[in-house]
Structure 1
């Protein structure tokens, strides 16, 4: 395990996940009930609930890190978001990989009767949209929490299984959003979304582990993925619900994640060390 992470965790993993899920799901329950006609909430109130609930992982990480090591641990952990010394390959992957995969999926869909291949956002709007997605689009809200979670899940298990487990948990964390009419998730098949969160988390952890546990890199990965959904028409919000574009995007991400899992040094190294440890017993 990277020496920059705490060697002792005083907070049980279940406690962190319970806090993160409880905060998000309780707050998101209000827009879920509103969209089902049980409650009457204004559109603005529903959006505020969605935004506030998305900070469940962030708040959970803050509480857990403070329990682990008080303010010194909090300062060290959140300071990882400023670790800007990132390898060129990882930086390019964080910024470009997901938009490229989205572009391929969009082109593939256009060849098979889907919407014409085109970028939905003018180049001039890229910087502002990227910053908006970085700070209020889910990246900051989530990635501090999932970074703490991967550090915690590595205790007693190999990195790849830990990344896969976190990908499943991450996907399940979104479940209430699938029941809110009009949200992006309500137009996605859950099995494909779960495939995506597992595969994408393997990619994020690959970059995170190989760059001194840089939360900044995780933020860039997450933002690029959200940017892709704004950049290309991968989600069909019409009654026809053509899911082919999104499924193609998920499968492309899975293909790349498998290639990384099989070749990345951080994943192979831990597997080799575990085999050696078992052989020496």
Structure 2
């Protein structure tokens, strides 16, 4: 963990939001018919904008400590010694929340419980989502933000605030027709991002700030959106699947918040010790 930061905290967030929203403004305007650009350009802007947190984190880390700090920070993505418990949590907790929601939906007027992806396609889909689905693009940035936010407040409060910030970072996507967010109620999405961030921060801090754990959690989340029909894109637009998914994640997050060592009213010194 950085002992000190030379870069103002606001610099990272302003840069991350600025880069992302500048690129995402193009598909937002195109979706509203205000900008005549092709589908390929829109996709390119969406992909480029998703790297706002990644770029901003490395700029801030370099400003904080130069190339040695950049090397140390990037190396956290290779911290694979996380223990079986945290590995299984990163791979399974979020999909379990999705499965619980879909099982509930199946018993309350929804479609029968079913997987949207065949088992044989699991490895390739997971790899694609890990590399291109937003995990790498975002989690280096949110890991840096976690380090910054916990300097002046409890870890749990930092995780909650970051969950809110993370949810708000996605706001432009809610205005682009056809994207997943355009089918979701924002309040439920915010519940989901706060809950998931609490769980990700727990894994991150408990494994010596392994960014790899954060990447695995994020990928599992995106994988679940593909594995289960938690988002109803039909004209019926039934939001119960995703709301149930968000609430299931909230239950998991509350259990983690009340039981995890790093969250149990730990002082900043004990948090730092647990992260080593």
Contact 1:115 1:233 in 2 (8 A): no
- Equivalent in 8, 12, 21 of residue 12 of structure 1: 8
TM-score by length of 1: 0.94
2:178 pairs with 1:182? yes
SS of the counterpart of 1:270?
Answer: coil
2:212 equivalent in structure 1: 216
Contact 2:154 2:268 in 1 (8 A): no
- Equivalent in 96, 105, 112 of residue 108 of structure 2: 112
1:56 equivalent in structure 2: 52
Question: Structure 1 stretches of 5 or more lacking a match?
Answer: 275-281
Tell me how far 1:43 sits from its aligned partner. Answer: 1.0
Describe how 1:121-200 pairs up with structure 2 within 5 A. 121-200=117-196
Describe how 1:23-62 pairs up with structure 2 within 5 A. 23-62=19-58
Tell me how far 1:272 sits from its aligned partner. Answer: 9.2
2:261 pairs with 1:265? yes
Tell me how far 1:42 sits from its aligned partner. Answer: 1.0
Tell me how far 1:107 sits from its aligned partner. Answer: 1.1
Tell me how far 1:189 sits from its aligned partner. Answer: 0.2
- Of stretches 103-112 and 172-181 in structure 1, the one that deviates more from structure 2 is 103-112
Q: Deviations over 1:76-126 (max 9, x none)?
A: 001000000012111111001111111111111111111221001011110
Tell me how far 1:269 sits from its aligned partner. Answer: 5.0
| 4+ long deviations beyond 4 Å | 271-274
- Of stretches 106-115 and 265-274 in structure 1, the one that deviates more from structure 2 is 265-274
2:274 equivalent in structure 1: none
1:279 equivalent in structure 2: none
- Equivalent in 184, 197, 201 of residue 205 of structure 1: 201
Q: Deviations over 1:251-276 (max 9, x none)?
A: 010011011101100111525979xx
SS of the counterpart of 2:17?
Answer: helix
Contact 2:101 2:244 in 1 (8 A): yes
Contact 2:50 2:134 in 1 (8 A): yes
Contact 2:151 2:268 in 1 (8 A): no
TM-score by length of 2: 0.96
Tell me how large the CA RMSD over aligned residues is: 1.2
- Paired with 1:260 and 1:97, the residues of 2 have a C-alpha distance of 11
Describe how 1:238-277 pairs up with structure 2 within 5 A. 238-270=234-266
- Paired with 2:62 and 2:176, the residues of 1 have a C-alpha distance of 33
State how many pairs are aligned. 270
- Paired with 1:156 and 1:272, the residues of 2 have a C-alpha distance of 9
- Paired with 2:198 and 2:94, the residues of 1 have a C-alpha distance of 13
Tell me how far 1:27 sits from its aligned partner. Answer: 0.3
- Paired with 1:97 and 1:44, the residues of 2 have a C-alpha distance of 35
Q: Deviations over 1:22-81 (max 9, x none)?
A: 000000000000000001111111111100000000000010000000000000001000
- Paired with 2:93 and 2:65, the residues of 1 have a C-alpha distance of 36
